[in-house]
Every structure is written in C-alpha cells, then in structure tokens.
Structure 1
Amino acid sequence: MHVKKYIVAGLLVWLPLAITIWVLAWILGVLDGVFQALLSAAGAVLPESAQQGLATLAHVPGLGVVLLVTLMFLTGMFVANFVGQWWIKQWDRLLGQIPIVKSIYSSVKQVSDTLFSSSGQAFREAVLVQYPREGSWTIAFVTGRPGGEVATHLHDDHVSLYVPTTPNPTSGFFLMAPRADVKPLSMSVDEALKYVISMGVVSPPTNGSAPAAVTATSATRN
C-alpha cells in the first residue's frame, strides 16, 4: 500500500509541471506555425537569395514568440500617441466598410475592448448566484449591466453574469439576474477561476489563510 501512496504523491508533484510544459509547448508550436506561414508568404514575393535566409529563420525555435511579443510592444507604443490613434481610427473605418468583415471585426473589437480595457469592469468581480436552479449555487463573473432593448424589459436593478463551465472556463452561460439575488465575493477573479477549474479542490484563502488544496504531503498521509 505504501507503494501506491508514493506513486500518487509523485504524480501530484509531476502532473502540474507536465501539463504546464505541454500547454506552453502547444502555444509555442502554434505561434511558430503562424510565423512559418508568414515567412512562406513573404518568400513567395522575395528573390531566391532572401528565401534561403527566411528558410533558416523558420527553423529557429521560439523565434515566432519573440517576434510576436516585439510586434505587440511596438504596436502598443505606436497607438499610445496621437498619430497612432488617428491611424487606428482610419483602419477601423476601412474595415467597417467591408461587408461580412465589418460584422466580425466590430464584434470582436467591442468584446476585446470591454474585457481588456483598463477602464472596463468586465470580469472585475466574482459573485455567487443560484444556478441552474434555486438552492444550487455557482460562481459567476460580473460583465456589466443589461443595456438596449433588454434593459427596458427589466424594471429592477440587474447585472450581466458569465457562468463558466468546469474544468474549461472558456465556455459557459450568459445570465441576467437581479442584483439582490447575487452575493459578492471578496476573492479575486484569479482565485475564483482556480476554484472553478479545479472543480472545488483548490479553495481560495479565507481571512488570509493559505489555499486548501490536495498536495503531495496530504496524499502521503492517507
């Protein structure tokens, strides 16, 4: 029986590291694939001497990530000033005139601006809400308040909520609930996400205490 305990303890040590490495390797592979595709497209219009240099760059591991981060940094510096903001407005106006493209681009831009803007309130607060039935509680994230035509049909004070699924929080459900039925939580959004992803195994700290989780030490004691 001690052998089983030691194997489980070792698994709890190596499994998080292995999954982390696998996820990072997958992201690295995706970015390198995009980088190689861009190099291939550029090589089609460049002379043969330049194509050989591009072929060498395509086999450098991790170069796509470095160039992507550099591009994001330079783009951020460019749009942070008046000239860059003017060009962004012209770019948005151009894409807003292309059929089909304007619907996709404007929707994605509106969502991304709401989620990642420093002045936005989306995913800034974790709450408890009764779902999918009364008496059952789950963690949700406040994404704002109902607006437009929907707000005219809701007479009380309501909030817009995103209820993530477990263990994949990228999918979920959109709810509009009365503010009185929502219980605010003091935990941060990151702590709430960990709680959801771990299916309740990793409990957020309470009153400054350390998070409760299944560790290798606890496994060896059982």
Structure 2
Amino acid sequence: MTDSIDRISLATRLRNNFLTGLIICAPMAITIYLTWTFIHWADSWVKPYLPDRYNPEAYLKFAVPGTGLLIAILFITLVGFLGRNLIGRSIVSYSENILNRMPLVRTVYKSTKQIFETVLKEQGNSFKKVGLIEFPRAGTWALVFVSTDAKGEIAAKLNANGEEMVAVFLAPTPVPTAGFLMFVPRSKLMLLDMTPEEGVKLLISAGLVTPEHKPNLADAMTAFADLPAEDEAVSVKTSKAR
C-alpha cells in the first residue's frame, strides 16, 4: 500500500515538474524562434540589394545574421532624419505628388500612410485605453480597445442626438489581429485601469492571464463611503485599538 502511494506521489511530482519546465521553456523557445525568424526575414529582404563591398559576409567565412535588419534600421532612421529638414520634406512632397497622380497606387498609399500616422504618432491617443461594452447583448460584456472619438461625417450623424460617440476596436480571441470597428456611446463604455498590453494578454490567453487589479484612491474612497455605519464604527474602533 505504501509502495503504491509512493509511486503515485512520484508520478505526480514528475508531472508537476514537467509542467513547470514547460511553462518556463515554451515561452522562451517561442520568443527565440519568432525573433530568429524575423531577423532572417529582414535579412532576406535587404541582403540581396546590398553591394558585396558593404556586406560583411563577403569578407568573412560565415554568415552574420541580423546584418540586413541593422542596415534597414539605419536606413529608416536616415530617411526620417532627412524627412525632418527642408530638403527632405521637398523630396517627400515631390514623391507624394507623383504617387497621388496614380489612380490605384494613390488609394493604397493614402490609406497606408493614414494608418501608420495614426498608430505611430507620438501625440496620438490611439489604443491607450481598454474598456468593456455590452456585446453581443445586454448583460454580456466584451473587451475593447478605445481608438478615438468619432470624427467627421460619422460624428455629425451619430452625435445628432447629443450623445458623444467613441470608436472602439473589438478584437477576437485568441488572435487579436482582426476584429470589428464599432462606434458606441461614451456612457455605454466602461473604462478599465489595465494597459493595452495587459488587455492583449487577457485576450490571447482567453481570460486565463488576468492582470492584477490595484484599486486607485477614488475607488477605495467610494468603497469606504458605501460601507454601512456599523462597519465604519467597527473600523474606527479597530484602528484606535491598534
């Protein structure tokens, strides 16, 4: 009887050790694999256009991974530096005028540029807040990322009744790369304290990885104000006794 219990205990410990090791190794392996794949993808795009005299692999007997990625970063940084001065802005403006005259290309260029300007703009407020809305019906809540206030024609049409509308992005689980753009009244949007990164983790894990909630001072004061009078008296007596 004791031997069987020992065998069961040993099997349980081995299983727990395996699961612990899997939790430690799997994220590291996936991260290394994705990083390595991205580096090779960048190298495959840049290295074919790199002259041999500037390619370190032409002088070395082994491959140097990451060379293409480093050159791409330096090139993009240089273009950004030139685009911030007068000559660079003139060149960019001239290039944009050429693209805007092409029927199909101008649509793709304008849409892509608008997306990148909205997402990467330093002063932008896009996707800096996470909230909850009742979806798909009342009583059930879905996690959304707050984009911006409704603007333009949409704001003129939807704000006609005096209710301010907000654009939110409803992402699916577990791959939040596609979803729905929705306009909801601000009063129907419940903002959360979690960051967008924590919201993405919550979505990808299907609710298994829940960020720790630390109530702010306003929430604590509200909870204290909602206490019954007897509970407040007990808390005061307890604090005095301490």
What range is the shorter-chain TM-score in? Answer: 0.7 to 0.9
Deviates more, 1:108-117 or 1:151-160: 151-160
TM-score by length of 1: 0.80
Partner of 2:136: 132
Matched, 1:142 2:146: yes
In 1, the alpha carbon distance for the partners of 2:102 and 2:214 equals 53
Matched, 1:56 2:67: no
Question: What is the CA-CA distance between 1:171 and the residue it aligns to?
Answer: 1.2
Aligned AA for 2:15?
Answer: K
Equivalent of 1:191, from 198, 213, 225? 198
More RCO (CA 8 Å, sep 6+):
1
Partner of 2:189: 182
How many residue pairs get aligned? The number is 200
Aligned AA for 1:69?
Answer: I
Matched, 1:82 2:86: yes
Structure 2 stretches of 5 or more lacking a match? 1-11, 216-242
| Residue-by-residue CA offset, 1:26-74 (whole Å, 9 max, x unaligned) | 11121111123434xx7xxxxxxx5996983894321111101111221
Query: Which is higher, the Rg of structure 1 or of structure 2?
Result: 2
Deviating beyond 4 angstroms after TM superposition, the runs of 4 or more aligned structure 1 residues are: 50-55
Equivalent of 2:97, from 72, 90, 93? 93
Deviates more, 1:157-166 or 1:86-95: 86-95
Taking a change above 3 Å as real, the CA distance of residues 159 and 11 of structure 1, as seen in their structure-2 partners, is: same
| Residue-by-residue CA offset, 1:114-135 (whole Å, 9 max, x unaligned) | 1111122211211111222222
In 1, the alpha carbon distance for the partners of 2:204 and 2:83 equals 35
Percentage of matched positions with identical amino acids = 28
The DSSP-based 3-state class of the residue aligned with 1:205 is coil
Contact 2:56/2:64, CA 8 A, preserved across alignment: no
Larger proportion of helix: 2
Contact 2:42/2:68, CA 8 A, preserved across alignment: yes
Structure 1 stretches of 5 or more lacking a match? 43-49, 209-222
Equivalent of 2:30, from 14, 19, 30? 19
TM-score by length of 2: 0.74
The DSSP-based 3-state class of the residue aligned with 1:100 is helix
Matched, 1:120 2:124: yes
